[in-house]
Structure 1
């Protein structure tokens, strides 16, 4: 899948500045294992030469990666790559670096686990607080998902917008924060696993999302939770099928 529209939809940072380029390069090198957990990064002079940046740019980039939990600077020792358990996996850049480096089936299933932990409850909240304008937007997104005249990327963006809107409808600020994780997770999954679907499959995706919208229209909290659980489980099964097909190639 082409990345232009999808990157724009998730607000992915364009690497226009030296700072953004260094953060991306070092972050991706850490996630991919070029710099392994426990490694001491090369010194400032070495990194400045490799990356062709000033000391100021490098240090600002190091601060950004420290804030993401990926490195830990120590006086007279150097900057160490931290254990993965310390990384902020709710950070959209960290999550997208994983997709760029290549993710395993286990990693994808962990994402679906965390979605099941949050999204059904968020859908229940949204059902009690849904406004007619919100429901109209969800219907529009669901119909876009079922429009076979649209590109795969445009249908994927509609799916992503649908789920993020529900976190906003919940009215819970913590759910809105989870929305950024959901957005990055879906973007990464769509990038790697959105094959050409036949018209019947496209129609089924749209219909399943419209069933959730109907629960919102009825202000049925229990049905909203149930339909969201089904949506996420269907996505999980599709990922299992996708990785199984790839493993046989």
Structure 2
């Protein structure tokens, strides 16, 4: 079931040996089975556990190090880094948090980041979106209205938020796409609007207001509509937790 939601994020569905090692150790760290400050087992033990070569293991360690999860110390071994060092914008790090279960504090942090970024992106889109951008967003809203299940609804919802980020004309907005995707996917995993036709209709209309404000070149209304969507989604999660 989780693959329905997490297939678009990170390495979950890339089932080569490297990805399996990264996924297993990364999840163990994020979900607390490998404690912060602890030393990983010896390479030979990990090679035996995963049935991979030393080359594959080394590449996996490099990947996890790049995500801020590990650091190699001479004569000590490979150490799990403190949580403050983890790259929370990384798609896999976010996914491992979600798969392990998180509380209100984590979702509140995600929502605060979205509120700091997405309304401004919507305001920029109101000034910069092309006719084609608006047409694409309107088409996505119609597909949102017609989505038959939670998987389809999640896909088109994410697509619309990507389209708004793209229409903002700011290349850095794409850098935080993993954060936005994780927030959206987590909300659908816990409580999907598609589970209720009435709620699905309300959420769709909320998104339509974003698009129509962008089409009207009304930046303040686009920002307010995006802010409303984020707050409503956050509150729906909190009620479900």
Normalising by structure 1, report the TM-score: 0.91
Partner of 2:80: 81
Distance 1:181 1:78 in 2: 31
List gaps (5 residues or longer) in structure 2: none
d(CA) in 1 for partners of 2:97, 2:73:
26
The aligned residue for residue 3 of structure 1 is 3
CA distance in 1, matches of 2:110, 2:193: 20
Preserved contact between residue 153 and residue 194 of structure 2 (Cα < 8 Å)? no
Give the Cα–Cα distance (whole angstroms) in 1 for the partners of residues 11 and 23 of structure 2.
Answer: 11
**Residue matched to 2:122:** 123
2:55 partner SS: helix
CA–CA separation in structure 2 for the residues paired with 1:81 and 1:204: 44
1:188, distance to aligned residue in structure 2 (A): 3.0
Equivalences for residues 47-196 of structure 1 within 5 A: 47-147=46-146, 150-194=148-192
Aligned partners of 2:47 and 2:57 also within 8 Å = yes
How far apart are the structure 2 equivalents of 1:98 and 1:226? 29
| 3-state SS in 2 of match to 1:89 | coil
Equivalent residues of 2:91, 2:178 under 8 A apart: yes
Question: Residue 45 in 1 paired to residue 44 in 2?
Answer: yes
Q: CA deviation at 1:13?
A: 4.6
TM-score, structure 2 length as denominator?
Answer: 0.94
Instruction: Assess if the C-alpha contact under 8 Å between 1:9 and 1:157 holds in 2.
Output: no
Instruction: State the alpha-carbon separation in 2 of the partners of residues 63 and 168 from structure 1.
Output: 31
Q: Does 12-21 or 106-115 show the bigger shift?
A: 12-21
Q: Residue 209 and residue 98 in structure 1: after superposition, are their counterparts in 2 closer, same or farther (change >3 A)?
A: same
CA distance in 1, matches of 2:195, 2:85: 38
Partner of 1:226: 224
RMSD: 1.6
Go from structure 1 to structure 2 and tell me whether the alpha carbon gap of 1:111 and 1:202 turns closer, same or farther (over 3 Å shift). same
Distance in 1, Cα, partners of 2:190 & 2:202 = 21
